[in-house]
């Protein structure tokens, strides 16, 4: 079995497999993940992202990202600087925040690849439906922490997996071929402890690392 892509433990076992998807589970950090040999190619990954309908003028998607936007607004004033990490083709949350006076930089390896924005530090970072795509999650969370100013906050939006093996087959979120791992209270705590964030708050599909 492939080692866990989060904690690197070799204590992994089969969790789910069908003709399209293959997932393992880590017995140590509890992460359900897609083993690297089943990851899609970078070109297929980009093609999948291009199929997303994250139009900045789409009222439905604006409503979808509202909890993330509100979390930022409750914590930081418009004078704060932010980074949309993994902004994608339609950085809707960043657009809403910009319209409310926030200064937001964009980074995405496919669609906003300017790495000079990764040389700065920010009051907050937003990752809207991004962290479930990480190939090297601990490395990515350490990078994000390095990009935050002291007392800065990382706001993530993702769907947690807290169900059991029996119910996983019917879970819609696993069907995106670019989703490499899923989060739950235990592995979020593992991330906090191994990256040095001082606090962790998880409410619904919004996760805050400070």
Instruction: Assess if residue 173 is contained within a domain.
Output: no
- Measure the CA–CA gap between 87 and 96, rounded to whole angstroms: 13
Q: Does the pLDDT value for residue 28 go beyond 80?
A: yes
pLDDT for the residue numbered 62:
86
- Residues 192, 140: contact at Cβ < 8 Å? no
pLDDT tens profile 129-163: 999 999 999 999 999 999 999 999 999 999 999 99
Instruction: Assess if residue 175 is contained within a domain.
Output: no
**Rounded to two decimals, what is the model's pTM?**
0.96
Q: Does the pLDDT value for residue 53 go beyond 70?
A: no
pLDDT confidence tier of residue 61, bands split at 50, 70 and 90: confident
Question: How many structural domains compose the chain?
Answer: 1
- Measure the CA–CA gap between 107 and 84, rounded to whole angstroms: 6
Tokens of 192: 């906090």
Instruction: Assess if residue 193 is contained within a domain.
Output: yes
Instruction: Assess if residue 84 is contained within a domain.
Output: yes
Domain that includes residue 152, residue range: 41-166+183-209
Percentage of residues in the chain having pLDDT higher than 70: 97
Instruction: Assess if residue 23 is contained within a domain.
Output: no
Tokens of 77: 């004033």
pLDDT confidence tier of residue 57, bands split at 50, 70 and 90: low
Chain mean pLDDT for the chain:
95
Q: How far is CA 206 from the centre of its chain?
A: 10
pLDDT for the residue numbered 94:
96
CATH number at residue 150: 3.40.50.150
Range from 9-18, 47-56, 173-182, 198-207 carrying the lowest mean pLDDT: 47-56
Instruction: Assess if residue 26 is contained within a domain.
Output: no
pLDDT for the residue numbered 54:
62
Quote the DSSP letter at residue 152.
Answer: E
Q: Does the pLDDT value for residue 26 go beyond 70?
A: yes
Instruction: Assess if residue 157 is contained within a domain.
Output: yes
- Measure the CA–CA gap between 120 and 147, rounded to whole angstroms: 6
Q: Does the pLDDT value for residue 184 go beyond 80?
A: yes
- Measure the CA–CA gap between 115 and 110, rounded to whole angstroms: 11
Mean predicted confidence (pLDDT) in 17-39: 98
pLDDT for the residue numbered 90:
87
pLDDT confidence tier of residue 59, bands split at 50, 70 and 90: confident
Q: Does the pLDDT value for residue 16 go beyond 80?
A: yes
Q: Distance between the two ends of the chain, CA-based, in angstroms? A: 34
Instruction: Assess if residue 198 is contained within a domain.
Output: yes
pLDDT tens profile 85-111: 999 998 999 999 999 999 999 999 999
User: What backbone phi and psi angles, to 5 degrees, belong to 69?
Assistant: -60, -45
């Amino acid at each position: 079995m492939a080692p866990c892509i989060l904690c690197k433990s070799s204590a992994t076992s089969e969790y789910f497999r069908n003709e399209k998807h293959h997932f393992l589970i880590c017995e140590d950090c509890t992460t359900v993940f897609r083993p690297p040999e089943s990851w899609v190619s970078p070109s297929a990954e980009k093609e999948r992202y291009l199929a997303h309908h994250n139009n900045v003028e789409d009222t439905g998607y604006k409503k979808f990202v509202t909890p993330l936007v509100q979390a930022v607004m409750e914590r930081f004033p418009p004078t704060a600087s932010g980074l949309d990490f993994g902004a994608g083709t339609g950085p809707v949350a960043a657009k809403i925040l910009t319209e409310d006076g926030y200064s937001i930089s964009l980074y995405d390896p496919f669609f906003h690849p300017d790495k000079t924005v990764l040389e700065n530090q920010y009051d907050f970072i937003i990752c809207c439906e991004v962290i479930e795509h990480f190939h090297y999650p601990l490395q990515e969370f350490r990078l994000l922490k390095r990009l935050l100013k002291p007392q800065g906050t990382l706001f993530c939006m993702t769907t947690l997996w807290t169900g059991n093996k029996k119910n996983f087959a019917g879970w819609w979120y696993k069907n995106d071929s670019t989703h490499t791992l899923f989060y739950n209270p235990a592995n979020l705590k593992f991330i906090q402890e191994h990256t040095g964030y001082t606090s962790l708050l998880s409410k619904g599909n919004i996760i805050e690392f400070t």
